[in-house]
Chain A
Amino acid sequence: MANYDPIYLSLNDEPRDIIASMDEVVARRAKTTTTYQQRRWLPRALLLGGLFFLVLNFVLGYSGSLFIFVCIGWWIVAFVVWLALRRNRIGQRLAPEYDTAREVFFTLRDDVAPKKFFFGHLDLTGPQQTSKVARTAKNALGRNVSFYRDEWLSLKAKLYDGNMLRVSAVQRMKVRDSYTKRSASGKLKMKSALVKDDRQQLSVRLSVNPQVYDVATMRLMKPGTGIGTYTIVQCANEGGIVNVVANAATSPVTATDIVSVLHAIYDQLQRKTGA
């Protein structure tokens, strides 16, 4: 499983500002990475320089061993610079969900009502955290199994047409926890955690503005319908509120998949004449 840098964005702003801020985060990360790559030679240079003075000290052979102090000083400085660079470097890439979320925001940017915001969060700190354990159980072998529920994208927006859109993208994981066991030879072996199930779930709730739309019968969207990588598992119209739940087996999902589901839901609406 690839490792990514964790990031958490809490959102309550206009879509264009959110997109600009997300782009700025990426740009700053790129600048930090570039700076790290441009400057990571310094500790090595100081290390080699210190080594040079160490050798020079022995070659010259004068009393006082003065150049050994240069060597020690430069090595200490090299260590401090190395630590500072290491602490400030960008370790991993951002998770692909970051681009997915940005594309979703970008697609919806013109659909938000004037002076209305996107509200929600983008939580890419990773699913396997104790705070994200939905429940635990024992498997057939009596080992602990943890079920994680990671709502990595939560978005609410009042749309231009008066509809209220709520989107929630959740990653659900079933993981057999790590454990130790003693082998036949008596050695203690560590069994690492094993992902038994990993799927994406998209929940969309659209509160339809009755002055603008009629909700048609959910004729085009039924459980089992495939939209991109998603498969509809639940769809309902409850008094003008459309609830759709879709699952995807692949992880990560793309913005196209999410937008396609939204598009399919909108296909269920019929604009009232004269609205």
Chain B
Amino acid sequence: MNSRAKTTIILAVVAVAVVMGVALLMTFSGSTPAKYATSQAWSQPMANMQSMKIIDLTGDGQNDLFVQNDTTFKVLDAEGKSLVSQDFIAPLATTLGDVNGDGVEDVVVFAPIDGRPTVAAYSQNERLWATPIENIDQPARAAVVRFPEGTQVIAGDDRGLLVALNQQGQEVWRANLSSGDTIRGLDDALIDGKLYLAAANHDGHVALYDAQGKALWTYSTGILRRLRSYDLNGDGTSEILLGGDGGRLIVLDAATGKELVNQALGQAITEIREVEINGEPSSREFVVGGKKGGVWAFTAAGEQLWSNNVDSKVNEIAALDVDKDGADETIIGDDGGGVTLFAGKTGERFGLDGHPSGILRIDVEKLGVGRKAVVADGSQVSVYSIEKASAPFFYSPLVVGLLIAAAIIAAAWFIASLPQKPAEKIAIEDQSVEGLQAQRRMLHESIADVERMKLAGEMPPEAYAARLKELRAALADNEAALKKAGVKIQVETFKCPNCGGTLPLGTDKCDYCGQVVIA
């Protein structure tokens, strides 16, 4: 076995050991590879979706699908059959809540009716009441808040005015959050278990109202895109999450309005949703989406769990525990039509089926048989089942390691067993004493020939010097070989200590480098 074969085999063994070591490490420490697959249950056209929710609106104990665009709201059953459909004139704002206290969610509409901004409540295809609102601008947002003192319907316009109506549709209070900009967020917030109204304006004004319309505190920041209120740490008092164009994530204490978190994310925040990321039910986590596709998962205390990104602006965030491990998978719909799933604890990214236009809304809840994800893009609403599929046995780090190791072993055998390429310089020389002595005689003759040619002018000085150097070096090698063979010979050459060229004994100046030498 030649040295190349030995080196190849040693390197191959080391490489195989490293590969298999890494493969074993990944096998026993890594998670099992998996993928998430979607299957579409049904879809139907619905353009420009503005609001969508899976909820029981018929009181039959089965969830329905509420959808609303700029002029229409519909209630569809689990198979997509339309149960309720109402048309309005834009702009249309809706919200869901049990207004009449019958235990079934009702639909509250804030829209121009008969030419006047009107709040109307619908229960199971029946209009409960409709109240025209005086001195209010175009509808922007609506909310139903179950204050301890009684349920109220809140209507917000595009000039910052809030109007509260009681369960019978009578106005009970009105307040100006700020003047001149649209109401951007209405949500109910808990303080010691009691519900209040958190409201935010596009211009950055935030306030918390009680049932009498009294602001408990106010807060002001830059342009706002999202207000969400969740009791993340389960202490009975909500945290109010704010995100805006300034790219700062702000968490306020609902009781005091004080900042709990104020963190820069580097891009405008377009969506915030509560998600059970870590599978620990005593506290909730939340996911933030950005205008440039950034996705961040945070604990209730504002510590980042993971971050990732999608292809374009995050439009919607939803949560679904697909693999039933207690941790929700985060589903992101982006402006480019992409739907992306991030695995619960790790945030590992999986692409789901894309859509031809931007995703506007996603909701996840039980609908018909099993939990479904409802995705609305620019032209239609589609209902999907999402399943997790674990990888087959061959898709494992161990098999990968074996495949790479097999290639390394095959390659090592190929290289090690390659025949040596013949050398460029080959000596066909008899190394017997007779052969060496014959070589010595021939070298002497050759040196004499070269000197004769030089004298005869047949050889230029440079060629003469080069050839003589070669012949003297060969003579020195021959002398060494003869001495090794035990032949007593008179040494005729020595090496120049300066350039290493071989010179005849008795020379006092090197023919090649000009160095004075004493031998």
- In the bound complex, CA of A14 to CA of B430 (Å): 8
- In the bound complex, CA of A158 to CA of B463 (Å): 26
List residues 82-141 of chain A with CB under 8 A from any CB of chain B.
Answer: 84-85, 87-90, 115-117, 119-120, 125, 131-135
B410 and A119 within 8 A (CB): no
- In the bound complex, CA of A23 to CA of B474 (Å): 25
- In the bound complex, CA of A263 to CA of B33 (Å): 83
B429 and A13 within 8 A (CB): yes
Q: Identify which of A12, A67, A149 contacts B395 (C-beta below 8 A).
A: A67
A46 and B424 within 8 A (CB): no
A-B residue pairs in contact (CB < 8 Å), sample of 13: A7-B422, A7-B424, A9-B427, A10-B474, A12-B427, A17-B430, A18-B428, A25-B422, A64-B31, A89-B421, A116-B438, A134-B462, A154-B446
B interface bracket (residues with beta carbon within 8 Å of A): 35 or more
A10 and B429 within 8 A (CB): yes
A12 and B438 within 8 A (CB): yes
B-side residues, CB < 8 A to A, are 19, 30-31, 33-35, 343, 348, 350, 391, 395-397, 400, 403-404, 407-408, 410-411, 414-415, 418-422, 424-430, 434-435, 438-439, 442, 445-446, 449, 460, 462-463, 466, 474
A179 within 8 A of B: no
B408 and A77 within 8 A (CB): yes
- In the bound complex, CA of A88 to CA of B30 (Å): 41
Smallest beta-carbon distance B367→chain A, Å: 26
Across-interface contacts of B30 in A (CB, < 8 A): 64
- In the bound complex, CA of A87 to CA of B418 (Å): 11
- A77 and B411 in contact, given A13-B430, A63-B35, A133-B462 (Cβ under 8 angstroms): yes
B463 and A134 within 8 A (CB): yes
A88 and B428 within 8 A (CB): no
B435 and A62 within 8 A (CB): no
- In the bound complex, CA of A13 to CA of B396 (Å): 62
B391 and A7 within 8 A (CB): no
- In the bound complex, CA of A11 to CA of B463 (Å): 21
Q: Identify which of B19, B34, B396, B449 contacts A166 (C-beta below 8 A).
A: B449
Across-interface contacts of A9 in B (CB, < 8 A): 426-428
Across-interface contacts of B400 in A (CB, < 8 A): 66-67, 69-70, 73
A115 and B434 within 8 A (CB): yes
Smallest beta-carbon distance B147→chain A, Å: 46
A119 and B422 within 8 A (CB): no
Across-interface contacts of B418 in A (CB, < 8 A): 32, 35, 39, 84-85, 88
- In the bound complex, CA of A60 to CA of B396 (Å): 13
B424 and A74 within 8 A (CB): no
Across-interface contacts of B419 in A (CB, < 8 A): 28, 31-32, 35, 88
A42 within 8 A of B: yes
- A12 and B442 in contact, given A67-B395, A70-B400 (Cβ under 8 angstroms): yes
A194 within 8 A of B: no
List residues 133-169 of chain A with CB under 8 A from any CB of chain B.
Answer: 133-135, 149, 154, 156, 166
Across-interface contacts of B31 in A (CB, < 8 A): 63-64
Smallest beta-carbon distance B476→chain A, Å: 14
- In the bound complex, CA of A119 to CA of B429 (Å): 9
- In the bound complex, CA of A149 to CA of B407 (Å): 50
A69 and B404 within 8 A (CB): yes
A54 within 8 A of B: no
A51 within 8 A of B: no
Across-interface contacts of A42 in B (CB, < 8 A): 410-411, 414
- In the bound complex, CA of A154 to CA of B19 (Å): 55
B407 and A73 within 8 A (CB): yes
- In the bound complex, CA of A28 to CA of B420 (Å): 8
Map CB proximity to B onto A20-37 as digits: 1 under 8 Å, 0 otherwise.
Answer: 011001001101100100
